[in-house]
Amino acid sequence: MWQSYLNGLLMAAGLIIAIGAQNAFVLAQSLRREHHLSVALLCVLCDAILVSAGVFGLARILAENPTLLAIARWGGVIFLVWYGFKALHRALSPQAMAEASETGPRSRRAVLMAALAVTLLNPHVYLDTVLLIGSLGAQQAAPGAYAMGAASASLLWFFTLALGAAWLSPWLARPTTWRLVDLMVAVMMLGMASQLVLAN
């Protein structure tokens, strides 16, 4: 059981810690201190559900239905391009940043819906979290322990990222920093969209 738990923890940690759309979103929200703990919790819950679904059968269903992956792929492209251009507009336009600060923080519901979109409209979540982690978990001696290990990695990573970035935010709360964060988010989102378009 503990071996399966450790396998899940290490496999998920290796994939989650890599910079991706979800991490960029959590980082940006945490630097803004805008419902960052709720966003981290949502990411953890989504990962736990997706890994468990993959371990207990969804990985096999996706592997046998390329149409589902194609739908996720092109839906993800549309969302990533839209979100990336919004971030790029904020990064390159001081007026957009001023307008964003004047409107104040977004509601928790709006932020969580955006986080849910970043998570579920990203095809990599199905390729990595469901297919890769899930299919490996299905082969473990204790699949449930493996899923718990993967969820633990997600919990540790997203709350460390959220709390760490929020702690640093007073030192980073400068217009130049916000522009760099938005630029990083834009590059990340548009880069992932390009990879999905060019992927065979």
Q: What is the pLDDT along the chain (200 residues), one digit of tens a residue?
A: 778 788 778 877 776 776 577 888 888 888 888 899 999 999 999 988 888 887 777 667 766 777 876 777 777 788 778 878 888 887 787 665 455 554 567 888 999 998 998 888 777 777 777 777 777 777 777 878 888 888 898 899 999 989 998 898 787 667 777 778 778 878 877 887 787 777 65
Structural domain of residue 68, as residue ranges? 2-198
Task: Report the C-alpha gap between 93 and 43 in whole angstroms.
Answer: 30
The pLDDT value given to residue 163: 92
Listed residue (178, 175, 176, 159) closest to 167, CA to CA: 159
Domain count of the fold of the chain:
1
* Beta carbons of 169 and 162 less than 8 angstroms apart: no
The pLDDT value given to residue 173: 65
Number of Cβ within 10 Å of residue 181's Cβ equals: 20
* Beta carbons of 174 and 37 less than 8 angstroms apart: no
The pLDDT value given to residue 171: 76
The pLDDT value given to residue 40: 94
The pLDDT value given to residue 104: 60
The pLDDT value given to residue 193: 77
Query: Quick one: tokens of 87?
Result: 């971030």
The pLDDT value given to residue 19: 58
Instruction: For the chain, report the end-to-end CA distance as a whole number of angstroms.
Output: 38
The pLDDT value given to residue 99: 52
Task: Report the C-alpha gap between 80 and 90 in whole angstroms.
Answer: 15
